[in-house]
Chains A and B, each alone.
Chain A
Amino acid sequence: MTAATAQKPLTGRIETQGGYVDLEAYEAAGGYAAARDAIGGMTPDAVRDLVKTANLRGRGGAGFPTGVKWGFVPPKDTGMKYLVCNADEMEPGTFKDRFLMENDPHLLVEGMILGAYAIGARTAFVFIRGEYAQAARALDSAIEAARARGYLGEGAFGGRFELDLSVHRSGGRYICGEETALLSALEGHRGQPRTKPPFPPASGAWGRPTIVNNVETLCNVPGIVRHGADWYQQLGRGEDAGTKLFGVSGRVRRPGLWELPMGTTIRELLEEHAGGMQEGYRFRGLLPGGASTDFLVEEHLDLPMEYGAIQAAGSRMGTGTMIIMDDRVCPVQMALNLQRFFARES
Chain B
Amino acid sequence: MTGTDREALIGALSAEEIAAIEREAAHLPRADSAAIEALRIVQGARGWVSDESVRAIAELLGMSPAQVDSVATFYNLIFRRPVGRHVIMVCDSVSCFVMGCDRVRERLEDTLGIRPGETTEDGRFTLLPIVCLGACDRAPVMMVGETIEGPVDPEQLPALLERYP
A residues neighboring B (CB under 8 Å): 80, 89-95, 97-98, 123, 125, 129-134, 164, 166, 168-174, 185-191, 206, 247-251, 255-257, 287, 291, 321, 323-326, 329, 333-334, 337-338, 341, 345
Interface centre among B24, B76, B94 (most CB of A within 10 A): B94
Q: Kindly identify which residue among B130, B133, B139, B143 contacts A255, using a CB–CB cutoff of 8 Å.
A: B139
User: What residues of chain B lie closer than 8 Å to A129, measured between beta carbons?
Assistant: 134
Of A164, A188, A321, A338, the contact of B136 (CB 8 Å cutoff): A321
Using Cβ atoms and an 8 Å threshold, which residues of chain A touch B74? 171, 173, 190-191
Q: A92, B94: Cβ atoms under 8 Å? A: yes
11 interchain pairs, CB-CB under 8 A:
A92-B93, A92-B132, A93-B93, A93-B94, A94-B132, A95-B136, A166-B27, A172-B76, A172-B77, A249-B137, A333-B97
Residues on B with beta carbons closer than 8 Å to the beta carbon of A189: 35, 71
Whether A169 pairs with B40 at a CB distance below 8 angstroms is yes
Is B36's CB under 8 angstroms from A249's CB? no
- Highest count of chain A CB atoms <10 Å: which of B40, B74, B133, B139: B74
* CB contact list, B36-60 vs A, under 8 A: 36-37, 39-40
Interface core residue of A98, A172, A173, A191 (most chain B CB under 10 Å): A172
User: For A326, what are the chain B residues with a Cβ–Cβ distance below 8 Å?
Assistant: 98
Closest CB-CB distance, A130 to chain B, in whole Å? 4
B interface, how many residues as a size bin? Answer: 35 or more
Could you tell me if B139 and A249 are in contact, using CB atoms closer than 8 angstroms? yes
| A174 and B95 form a contact (CB under 8 A) | no
Contact with A along B1-35 (1 / 0, CB 8 A): 00000000000000000000000100111101111
Is B98 within 8 A of A191, CB to CB?
A: no
**Complex contact B99–A171 (CB within 8 A):** no
Does B75 contact A323, Cβ atoms closer than 8 Å?
no
The answer to whether B98 and A255 touch across the interface, beta carbons within 8 angstroms, is no
Task: Please determine whether B36 and A170 come into contact, CB atoms closer than 8 angstroms.
Answer: yes
B161 at the binding interface (Cβ < 8 Å): no
CA distance in complex: A188, B40 (Å): 12
Across the two chains, which residue of chain A brings its CB closest to B40? A169
| Extra inter-chain contacts (12) besides given A131-B143, A287-B94, CB under 8 Å | A90-B131, A92-B95, A95-B134, A95-B135, A164-B27, A168-B37, A170-B77, A247-B137, A251-B98, A323-B98, A334-B94, A337-B94
Q: Does B70 contact A (CB under 8 A)?
A: yes
Given the contacts A188-B34, A251-B98, A325-B98, A90 and B137 also touching, CB distance less than 8 Å: no
Q: Decide if A172 touches B98 in the complex (CB within 8 Å).
A: no
- The chain B residue with its CB closest to the CB of A80 is B29
Q: CB of B162 within 8 A of chain A? A: no
Cβ-defined contact, B33 with A188, below 8 A: yes
A257 pairs with B33, CB closer than 8 A: no
Residue of A nearest to B130 (CB): A131
Task: Kindly list chain A residues whose C-beta atoms are within 8 Å of the C-beta of B40.
Answer: 130, 169, 171
Beta-carbon contact of B98 and A334 below 8 Å:
yes
A245: shortest Cβ distance to chain B, in Å?
12
CA distance A221 to B47 in the complex (A): 39
Report whether A329 and B75 are in contact in the complex, using a CB–CB cutoff of 8 Å: no
Task: Collect the chain B residues with CB atoms within 8 Å of residue A125's CB.
Answer: 27
Q: How far is the CA of A39 from the CA of B78 in the complex (A)?
A: 40
